A and B are shown apart, each in its own frame.
Chain A
Amino acid sequence: MIDLSQVTVAFGGRVVLDDVTFSLQPGDFFFLTGPSGAGKTTLLRLCSGAQAPARGEVRLFGRPLAEMSSDTRASARRRMGIVYQDTQFLDHLPLEENIVLPFTVRGPVDPEMRAQAADLMAWVGLGEHRTALPPTLSGGERQRAALARALLTAPELVLADEPTGNLDWEMSLKLLTLLIELNRLGTPVLMATHDLALIRAAKPLVNARVLRLKDGKLTQAGAAL
């Protein structure tokens, strides 16, 4: 589904990812770990097609990223559920409108879609905040909302960048359980986290593997938990 082959990314001469090779296939569950600045977010952005490599090849759903038009990249993103670390919302729209945004950009939003969004919002504990504007929410609430939005369209794969960073332990476990359930249905998950306790908690539940990044290099490429 996603293949990175000898990929290097540099910003202003500084190498952020160095010769990284990685593949995400159906059924995979990867934890991506490493210290801050190791390149975790950049690797996730490569996987979502939001970042082009300086060298190497990125393939999304079998197609080289370099040959994809902006429309084709948009189509690829519609097949993904993406949660970035800086949870991004349209601050002038109520939370519910933000959650249904993946449907909005595809066409008219019908009541069934809104019901789906309401269910997901209730599940992540935001049922009471449907009309709230994103700036009025806490960091944890925004993170849960971002996850609800990412899962709304039943994505073929999930890319999550520190999705539990602002959540309490209980909510973190709840979120992890949801991702594991999705994974059991065949949805591959790539989740960046520095929470080792969460990774340990996942061990009895899922056959996950760990990717460890340090200074832009993969030092541990897919070891089992």
Chain B
Amino acid sequence: MSVFDMLRGDPGASRVVPSSGTTPRLVALGTASMAFLAVFAIALAAMLFHLGATWRAELAGTATVRITSSGEARDADTEAAMQVLQTTPGIATARVIPELEQQALLEPWFGKDLPLDSLPLPRLIEVTFEGESFDAKALGLRLAGEVPSARFDDHDRWRGPLARAQARMSWLAVAALGLIAATLAAVTALAARAALSANSQVIDVLRLVGARDTWIARAFVRRITLRAFLGACIGTLAAAAILAAFPATGAAGLPALRPSGASWALLAPVPLLAALVAWATTRRSALRMLKGRP
């Protein structure tokens, strides 16, 4: 019996199991809860992915040169470093960050009235590369040779930990989804067993008239799977409605949890996957339980 056979249904098999009983309702409730949690896990995973992608995009293809000398030497070193950068193939832009901009960068930590003159701050040059094959290491060595007070930072030491953190968070989201699927499988397996136990007389009658186990299982599997699908639809829609009420833009440098545009489509498979998990576990449990009966 494939999932398509199950969905097509068998009017005979569907009727033989009494429609009363709390088990199918509990399946719907359990599946709705799991789908609700799954939607938030997916939204969180998408947000983390977006955050990581943004961070990587911002750091990739850029570098910073710090001029650590002071006084008159600073201007000369800055000019020398700019000379090196402008004559290096593969560099798209190189610009000295003005003091006002530098002040704005430090404002979140030191406040508005920061006297930059009184602090031993380095001068910063922002560099962008053309393409990904640029040899940042060679540029670093050249700068160190020609301008000893220049410190070249290609952001590599930031990119690595960020990529690792993002990978860990992605695995965490996958693990959360796996746990949700496992819980759903356990709920539906228990529901199948409960439904079969509560209908032992029905099973006896069906066997008496020559029903095969696959046919008997189909009656229970279809009912539980359809309830699981219904519950998952409700849970998904409820979670989507809550997400839709979230702000469309993020705060404190984080992207929004609310999906945007095509990202909403990521939620569409949740009810189908929940129904698939319910179908597979219910069918397996039902057939195993029927096999154990004389």
Q: Report chain B residues within 8 Å CB of A22.
A: none
Chain B positions 155 through 196: 1 when the CB is less than 8 Å from some CB of chain A, otherwise 0: 000000000000000000000000000000000000000000
Contact A104:B210 (CB < 8 A) given known A52-B294, A90-B202: no
Whether B18 is near chain A, meaning CB under 8 Å from some CB there, is yes
Interface size class of B (residues with CB under 8 A): 20 to 34
Alpha-carbon distance A46/B264, docked complex (angstroms): 59
Q: Report chain A residues within 8 Å CB of B126.
A: none
B15, B208, B209, B294: the one contacting A51 at CB < 8 Å is B294
Contact A74:B212 (CB < 8 A) given known A52-B294, A92-B18, A109-B12: yes
Whether B58 is near chain A, meaning CB under 8 Å from some CB there, is no
- Contact (Cβ within 8 A) A105 B201: no
Whether B6 is near chain A, meaning CB under 8 Å from some CB there, is no
- Contact (Cβ within 8 A) B205 A50: no
What is the minimal beta-carbon distance from A185 to any residue of chain B, in angstroms? 21
What is the minimal beta-carbon distance from A130 to any residue of chain B, in angstroms? 16
- Contact (Cβ within 8 A) A88 B205: yes
Chain A positions 83 through 107: 1 when the CB is less than 8 Å from some CB of chain B, otherwise 0: 0100011111100010001101111
Alpha-carbon distance A91/B202, docked complex (angstroms): 9
Chain B positions 191 through 217: 1 when the CB is less than 8 Å from some CB of chain A, otherwise 0: 000000000011011111111111100
Chain B positions 1 through 29: 1 when the CB is less than 8 Å from some CB of chain A, otherwise 0: 00000000000100110111000000000
Alpha-carbon distance A149/B16, docked complex (angstroms): 16
Alpha-carbon distance A48/B212, docked complex (angstroms): 15
- Contact (Cβ within 8 A) A102 B213: no
What is the minimal beta-carbon distance from A194 to any residue of chain B, in angstroms? 22
Q: Report chain B residues within 8 Å CB of A59.
A: none
The DSSP consensus for interface residues of chain B is: helix
Alpha-carbon distance A78/B211, docked complex (angstroms): 8
Q: Report chain A residues within 8 Å CB of B206.
A: 101, 105
Look across to chain A and name the residue whose beta carbon is closest to the beta carbon of B290.
A70
- Contact (Cβ within 8 A) A93 B15: yes
Q: Report chain A residues within 8 Å CB of B291.
A: 70
Contact A104:B16 (CB < 8 A) given known A88-B204, A88-B205: yes
Look across to chain B and name the residue whose beta carbon is closest to the beta carbon of A52.
B294
Look across to chain A and name the residue whose beta carbon is closest to the beta carbon of B12.
A104
Alpha-carbon distance A89/B19, docked complex (angstroms): 16
How many chain A residues have a CB neighbour from B under 8 Å?
A: 28
B201, B208, B214: the one contacting A82 at CB < 8 Å is B208
- Contact (Cβ within 8 A) B211 A105: yes
- Contact (Cβ within 8 A) A84 B290: no
Which residues between 32 and 48 of chain A lie within 8 Å of chain B, taking CB atoms?
A: 48
Chain A positions 189 through 223: 1 when the CB is less than 8 Å from some CB of chain B, otherwise 0: 00000000000000000000000000000000000
What is the minimal beta-carbon distance from B214 to any residue of chain A, in angstroms? 8
Which residues between 43 and 89 of chain A lie within 8 Å of chain B, taking CB atoms?
A: 48, 50-52, 70-71, 74-75, 77-78, 82, 84, 88-89
- Contact (Cβ within 8 A) A105 B209: yes
Q: Report chain B residues within 8 Å CB of A93.
A: 15-16
- Contact (Cβ within 8 A) A71 B12: no
Q: Report chain B residues within 8 Å CB of A92.
A: 18-20
Whether A108 is near chain B, meaning CB under 8 Å from some CB there, is yes
Look across to chain B and name the residue whose beta carbon is closest to the beta carbon of A78.
B210
Alpha-carbon distance A104/B12, docked complex (angstroms): 6
Q: Report chain A residues within 8 Å CB of B208.
A: 48, 50, 77, 82, 84, 88
Contact A90:B294 (CB < 8 A) given known A77-B209, A105-B215: no
Interface centre among B15, B205, B215 (most CB of A within 10 A): B205
Q: Report chain A residues within 8 Å CB of B213.
A: 70-71, 74
What is the minimal beta-carbon distance from A213 to any residue of chain B, in angstroms? 21
- Contact (Cβ within 8 A) B210 A105: yes
Look across to chain B and name the residue whose beta carbon is closest to the beta carbon of A48.
B208
Interface centre among B16, B202, B210, B290 (most CB of A within 10 A): B210
Alpha-carbon distance A93/B199, docked complex (angstroms): 14
Alpha-carbon distance A135/B20, docked complex (angstroms): 17
Q: Report chain A residues within 8 Å CB of B214.
A: 71
Alpha-carbon distance A216/B20, docked complex (angstroms): 41
- Contact (Cβ within 8 A) A70 B12: no
What is the minimal beta-carbon distance from A178 to any residue of chain B, in angstroms? 19
Q: Report chain A residues within 8 Å CB of B204.
A: 88
Across the A-B interface, give the 6 residue pairs with the lowest CB-CB distance, nearest first: A78-B210, A105-B211, A104-B12, A77-B210, A102-B209, A92-B18
7 CB contacts below 8 A, A to B, read A51-B294, A74-B207, A75-B212, A82-B208, A93-B16, A105-B206, A106-B210
Given contacts A74-B212, A92-B19, A105-B210, 19 further A-B contacts (CB under 8 A): A48-B208, A70-B213, A70-B291, A71-B213, A75-B210, A77-B208, A77-B210, A78-B210, A84-B208, A88-B201, A88-B205, A89-B205, A93-B16, A97-B15, A102-B209, A104-B12, A105-B206, A105-B211, A149-B209
